[in-house]
Every structure is written in C-alpha cells, then in structure tokens.
C-alpha cells in the first residue's frame, strides 16, 4: 500500500494521510460479490475513469468525461455489453448515469469486473456522492460531495488503487 491508494478501513476510507467518512454496500464487504447482492466487493481495483455532470459543475479533473443525456450503465448479465457504458435506448436492464438526484454528479469508475466482465459477478462499482451521511449503497463507496471532489482532484486514473 502507498499513500496514493484509497484504503477502506473500519473508520472510513484512507487516502493521502486523511481518513474520509464513507458509505459502503448494504450487504457489507464480500469476497464473493454477485449482481444485486448490495455488497461492496473485497479486493484491489483501479480507478479507470471519471465521469461528471457538465450541467451541474465544471470538470473536476483534467481527465473527466461528461455524462451525456443518453448515457447508461448496463447491469444485465445477459447483455453483451454487461458492466459497460451504453447509450439509450438500450434493450437490457441498465442504470441511468444522468440522474435527477446528485449522486452521480461525479463518478469515479473502477475496474471491478470490467476488463473481461463475468456475467453475474456484479457491475458498476463506483465511488460517488452519498445519499446522506453513511447511508448504505448498492455496493459502491460513497462520500460527502466535498470529500469526493477533494479525492477526485488528487487521483491518477489507471494508477490510483482502491483496496477493500
């Protein structure tokens, strides 16, 4: 581990000498993550991308990509594009990235089950804004908006690791 890693601890997520309060999945941390179990997967993953809502805030990082009105994330294990960004209309189960609430105003995309997605092993493990302090997620890791922006400004996509 290095100070550049994001390390989940019982007291929060540690990064660059700071510990940030965060929320994890309602199913806790699991080594045997499955689609829909609400768990945060144990392991080591990389931050591979940053998405943001350009209608709500400026780019939070030089490598951030704008979320478009038709951007979705496939969460259907039957979909050939499972655990990938897709565009509407999309005939499989998916999650809308351009949400009405602010949860996905900034999204750090991890490589959990991403390189060669295994259907059913879980999709879309993101770091994003929490609904309210320490309110459980569906498996992602969530933060206050201020902490998420602070973290986002300091990560290096492709190099920064998340250790759970």
Would you state the pLDDT for residue 134? 85
Instruction: Report domain 6-163's class.
Output: mainly beta
Would you state the pLDDT for residue 58? 98
Q: What is the pLDDT of residues 20-31, one digit of tens each?
A: 999 999 999 999
C-alpha distances (whole Å) from 147 to each of 12, 89, 128 are 12, 34, 10
CB atoms closer than 10 angstroms to residue 42? 14
Of all residues in the chain, what percent carry a pLDDT higher than 90?
A: 96
CB atoms closer than 10 angstroms to residue 3? 10
pLDDT greater than 90 at residue 3:
no
Would you state the pLDDT for residue 34? 93
Q: What is the pLDDT of residues 39-57, one digit of tens each?
A: 999 999 999 999 999 999 9
Beta strands at 106-110 and 44-52: parallel, antiparallel or unpaired: antiparallel
Average pLDDT, the chain: 96
Mean pLDDT, residues 90-94 taken together: 96
* Contact (CB, 8 A) for 23 and 128: no
Mean pLDDT, residues 89-93 taken together: 96
Phi, psi of 95 (to 5 degrees): -120, 135
Mean pLDDT, residues 6-31 taken together: 97
Domain ranges of the chain: 6-163
């Amino acid at each position: 581990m290095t100070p550049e890693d994001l390390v989940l601890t019982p007291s929060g997520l540690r990064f660059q000498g700071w510990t940030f309060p965060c929320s994890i999945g309602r199913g806790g941390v699991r080594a045997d993550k499955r689609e829909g179990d609400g768990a945060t997967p144990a392991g080591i993953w990389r931050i591979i991308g940053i998405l943001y809502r350009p209608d709500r805030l400026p780019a939070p990082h030089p490598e951030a990509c704008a979320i478009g009105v038709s951007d979705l994330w496939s969460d259907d294990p039957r979909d050939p594009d499972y655990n990938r960004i897709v565009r509407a209309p999309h005939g499989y189960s998916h999650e809308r990235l351009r949400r009405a609430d602010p949860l996905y105003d900034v999204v750090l995309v991890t490589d959990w089950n991403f390189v060669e997605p295994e259907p059913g092993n879980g999709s879309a493990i993101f770091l994003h804004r929490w609904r309210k302090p320490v309110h459980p997620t569906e498996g992602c890791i969530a933060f206050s908006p201020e902490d998420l922006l602070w973290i986002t400004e300091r990560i290096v996509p492709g190099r920064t690791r998340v250790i759970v």
